[in-house]
Structure 1
């Protein structure tokens, strides 16, 4: 083996002087093989859940930094079982936490005796999109021959560049991809330690549940006690208030294996509060008198006015449930505290419910989860991007904040779209000009996510939605004139979400993509000049035209192949024009030679291929004709409010079909 090589104080090839490599003879041989292109800096055996694990740390050199942005040491773990045991991943989590200051928190080298390990890791990645980048090897690979640096780099390319780490839909369940929220997690942990109540609020998909998961990981690491209730689940919001109290007791006792004589207590309207108090005190004593935290996520689902179940929404279940919790907290301040999370703090702001005092009115000081600033966006995007071989122009981070307001979920999905458009020949730099050119397409692609984010306001907090819509569509003057009709709390909520800001006497929406969505999906008349109306119609029609082209091209290619697709597309042109189009590539042909009227003809002539998209042929033709007739940007003619509204409705009908 080569002599150890050190550069700038880092060992990047060979084994650290006097380091005792742990493991059996085969595992030591594997470590020595990898030491030919990594520095081996640490080696240890640890027992975890009755199993001994051998592991070492590999330090990457400059070539791995350049190609894969690998800076920290990599965990090399051996799994000496013929059938891979997923419990080894629990040991991985523990080790990454124990050596947080040294180890890369995403990438792990796993050497397994299981010959099917590659398929098992692939299945794991499919189940959990935010799983770590586990690069699998088998003992057999090393026993057949020496693994070369090229072999290792090929593996890294396969596992780094082929996975889209930006496309995470669900809340973040581990620290690997958790960014920008450590301060608020610590604040809520401090509230738990001091027995204070907490409230976390913010827009949909902004990361509230991810913060709650991080808080739970912190509590677990410090041997605390909590129970998590997802109020979105029918197993929670379908329950009556006294059944939910019983559910809390059952969940706590099962989670911490506490033995209770439940049959001695009754949970009904008369006795539930008493039974809850007595059983919770028993749990508290059996758990070494550690404070218990009750966490309620998606609190709207069991809140007055916003719940889906009648007994929470319009009856008094909300009052009786929180009367019980409040009474316990007041009498037993050391034993229990709670945290509620949702979009809107309505549940703690309404003073009375059907003439009865709201038990948790002003009991919580709401904390809003803020949108990311430029530094948080840069940290998240660059950290995730580096594992996929992507480096971003510095200006892109600023644009992501300007265009998408620093909303982490939207930004990750924009980066996912960027990733999907780039070849796997990496590393590669993402250019600000490419971003600018494609932004209109990105906005179209993420409109469904914008809808998810804003839908809860439209359904449950319509005043807030309407004010945003007025600002987006009719401007600041109309917004200010409607402001007096709104409650003060409505404005505070919108500012708390981070979607609304005020500069002097002007309010503006911080997420440009959200303002665009509101404009494109509003029935309000725009109080704008003719020039602004031209611009609004032009933008929407241009985006629609791009989407229709893409849809026609995709449907024809998929169903008929390139040659037949070309023939069908050419039929929309006059016979004498077709000869001029020979030799032009199909995608270029669609982009440069086919405009709105011809797209209508193509769909009309091939209605069977598009009937499932548009359903009603006569409505399709009518709306396409309206959109083309009132091209006021092209013809520089005036348009009445009635004609403008008609054009808006026609655009909206077609947009809802294709987006």
Structure 2
């Protein structure tokens, strides 16, 4: 970590005449131990006047809060604080002045400032870390640690990794800057483009980055959300796009009203669209980029709207847009960028019996995963503000485990933030990370829900590729290698960054190790087992799990249906016989289901269920004879070494089928 070797104090050139007496006291207190005040200025903003101070941190602050550059202090002398006061920072050239972008201090005379800011932050997850205090708090405080403690509260309680919505600002955006520049340059060169990636890889955040970049270059980018566009017919969708651009550029609507109704006549749509778009380009004098997000919603075969799904609307819609791209006679550039998870819109040559207007119009750009340097930048910077020092070995392990997937890395770091109990700042080495990772994998709200989200794309649209992944996870090497010889099956898996080629016997391995672990867990009972020892281990593991779940089910169902007294009699009858009911009725009901105290076996539970099947039938949803057959088969497969011959593959598959049936029923209870 870079240290400034700054000593506290005040720049002798500062003009204290700019400040009130209270503000002078605040500055002197801050400069006493932890800050060097470099300059002060007055800032008039939105009909209000504020005092602005620039504070350079001493090394202690740098080490504890990862603050290296100067921090802005806004002093608001008003009795009522409004969150828009923070906009003063946006009026400063933070990058040019080399100021800390992610945090600031705010002093106010409003005693309710903390509550005001807390309410603001709840709905503004991308806002800076704001450390608030009142004039009175800092002036009257006799504790040098007052501000440090307030900083700890604000910095260490904020989950900067937990943001899941697309990032509209640059503040918490990391990596992919080269990709954003590449996409912006394609537009400036009058080229169309498309970006694709798995769910939550940052597509929409990249789009916002392109919009910001083009805005700085005096171009205009119009974002089109296809999640709602598909609700309209192709011709009305084109009109919607035109009017979105008109509104975004603040053009006078009266210049375009003549063509408004023309879009309802499909024979006049092409002329209306070309006239309107040409006029927009002429009046605005700006290059225009149309960005279609969630393109699957207007793509044939994936849209939920019939005319788009059949491809009829798709073909007509893109014929019009492509035609304008080719015949644009204005001086301004016009192009489009499509973004989504599924690139089939540019992969198939024909749609609904017609040529696909955008077939191979450009090579799809797949969003690359984070490399080590990008992950290190994000984890080090955000983690530093939150009191975590991620060591290089830990960062390397995180990148390997999650294949550089940005959301997964963020969520792993967020999990560490929410579950780390030690006092901060703290080092997160490889060992500490591994301990947290185990829990992240096991928790229901942990990695598994993100794995399902990511794999859903393949499961829905690329079933062959999804099957290949499961084969790799199940270690069915022979079948995987057969399918891998067909390039089309392997293309998307490689492009999405899920697997990569290697020199092993298989030829490929999971790039996202966490997905491999997840799928291996999901399909752990589908692997081909060759030895009796492996088969025995699975049989014992699954029978044990089923027995444990059945104990819980029987215990609950007997008591809820029969009452505790009768339920106790039933379980005593099953374990010891009817003659012992009177002798053991004083024992606690729950104790009978503890295998350490009573001999309650899998067969005992099955006998109980069969005897009182009237209260279990609705749970198992089969007739009693079928249940008995399944129970007998499961109980038949006990220890392999108890038999004189090995269990055959056929018998083992029968066991797996029965075990899966019971596990499926019990998992729902």
TM-score of the superposed pair, with normalisation by structure 2 = 0.80
Q: Distance in 2 between matches of 1:209 and 1:532?
A: 50
- 1:162–1:424 CA contact under 8 A, matched in 2: no
**Higher mean displacement: 505-514 or 79-88:** 79-88
SS at match of 2:8: strand
Q: Deviation digits for residues 574-617 of structure 1, max 9, x if unmatched?
A: 68589xxxxxxxxxxxxxxxx9989x99xx9xxxxxx9xxx937
SS at match of 1:105: coil
Q: Distance in 1 between matches of 2:398 and 2:640?
A: 29
Alignment of 1:8-87 (within 5 A): 11-20=6-15, 22-36=18-32, 37-48=34-45, 51-87=48-84
Instruction: Tell me what 1:492 maps to.
Output: 491
Q: Distance in 1 between matches of 2:248 and 2:341?
A: 28
Instruction: Tell me what 2:656 maps to.
Output: 645
Instruction: Tell me what 1:249 maps to.
Output: 242
Instruction: Tell me what 1:279 maps to.
Output: 276
Return closer, same or farther for 1:385/1:114 CA change in 2, 3 Å cut-off. Answer: same
Question: What runs of 5+ residues in structure 1 fail to find an aligned partner?
Answer: 1-6, 556-566, 579-594, 605-610
Instruction: Tell me what 1:263 maps to.
Output: 257
TM-score of the superposed pair, with normalisation by structure 1 = 0.81
Q: Distance in 1 between matches of 2:592 and 2:103?
A: 53
Equivalent residue for 1:414, pick from 412, 415, 422: 412
Alignment of 1:115-154 (within 5 A): 115-143=111-139, 145-146=140-141, 148-154=143-149
Alignment of 1:427-506 (within 5 A): 427-444=425-442, 445-484=446-485, 486=486, 488-504=487-503, 506=507
* 2:158 is the counterpart of 1:163: yes
Q: Distance in 1 between matches of 2:433 and 2:631?
A: 30
Equivalent residue for 2:206, pick from 211, 221, 230: 211
Return closer, same or farther for 1:624/1:395 CA change in 2, 3 Å cut-off. Answer: farther
Q: Distance in 1 between matches of 2:544 and 2:24?
A: 60
Note the C-alpha offset of 1:533. 5.6
- 2:473–2:523 CA contact under 8 A, matched in 1: no
Q: Distance in 2 between matches of 1:325 and 1:18?
A: 61
SS at match of 2:195: strand
Q: Distance in 2 between matches of 1:624 and 1:429?
A: 53
Note the C-alpha offset of 1:49. 5.0
Instruction: Tell me what 1:299 maps to.
Output: 295
Note the C-alpha offset of 1:300. 0.8
Return closer, same or farther for 1:515/1:624 CA change in 2, 3 Å cut-off. Answer: farther
Return closer, same or farther for 1:183/1:74 CA change in 2, 3 Å cut-off. Answer: same
Alignment of 1:569-588 (within 5 A): 572-573=593-594
Equivalent residue for 2:321, pick from 321, 325, 348: 325
Q: Deviation digits for residues 139-191 of structure 1, max 9, x if unmatched?
A: 33245x14643111111111112222222221122222211211111111212
Equivalent residue for 1:351, pick from 331, 349, 352: 349
Q: Distance in 1 between matches of 2:176 and 2:381?
A: 15
SS at match of 2:456: helix
- 2:230–2:305 CA contact under 8 A, matched in 1: yes
Q: Deviation digits for residues 308-359 of structure 1, max 9, x if unmatched?
A: 1111111411111111111111112733111111112211111111221111
Q: Distance in 1 between matches of 2:160 and 2:543?
A: 31
Return closer, same or farther for 1:375/1:29 CA change in 2, 3 Å cut-off. Answer: same
Q: Distance in 2 between matches of 1:191 and 1:359?
A: 19
Return closer, same or farther for 1:320/1:423 CA change in 2, 3 Å cut-off. Answer: same
Q: Distance in 1 between matches of 2:65 and 2:631?
A: 49
- 1:201–1:343 CA contact under 8 A, matched in 2: yes
SS at match of 2:187: helix
* 2:380 is the counterpart of 1:387: no
Note the C-alpha offset of 1:42. 3.2
SS at match of 1:149: coil
Question: What runs of 5+ residues in structure 2 fail to find an aligned partner?
Answer: 557-587, 610-615
Q: Distance in 2 between matches of 1:396 and 1:632?
A: 42
Q: Distance in 2 between matches of 1:68 and 1:543?
A: 49
Return closer, same or farther for 1:45/1:221 CA change in 2, 3 Å cut-off. Answer: farther
User: What is the aligned residue count?
Assistant: 602
Q: Distance in 2 between matches of 1:435 and 1:9?
A: 30
Alignment of 1:107-122 (within 5 A): 107-122=103-118
Note the C-alpha offset of 1:128. 3.2
Q: Distance in 1 between matches of 2:518 and 2:533?
A: 17
- 2:83–2:116 CA contact under 8 A, matched in 1: no
Q: Deviation digits for residues 39-64 of structure 1, max 9, x if unmatched?
A: 11233334555554432221111211
Note the C-alpha offset of 1:652. 6.2
Return closer, same or farther for 1:648/1:182 CA change in 2, 3 Å cut-off. Answer: farther
Q: Deviation digits for residues 20-41 of structure 1, max 9, x if unmatched?
A: 3555443343223222221112
Note the C-alpha offset of 1:88. 3.1
Note the C-alpha offset of 1:497. 0.8
Instruction: Tell me what 2:376 maps to.
Output: 378
Return closer, same or farther for 1:48/1:421 CA change in 2, 3 Å cut-off. Answer: same
Return closer, same or farther for 1:399/1:541 CA change in 2, 3 Å cut-off. Answer: farther
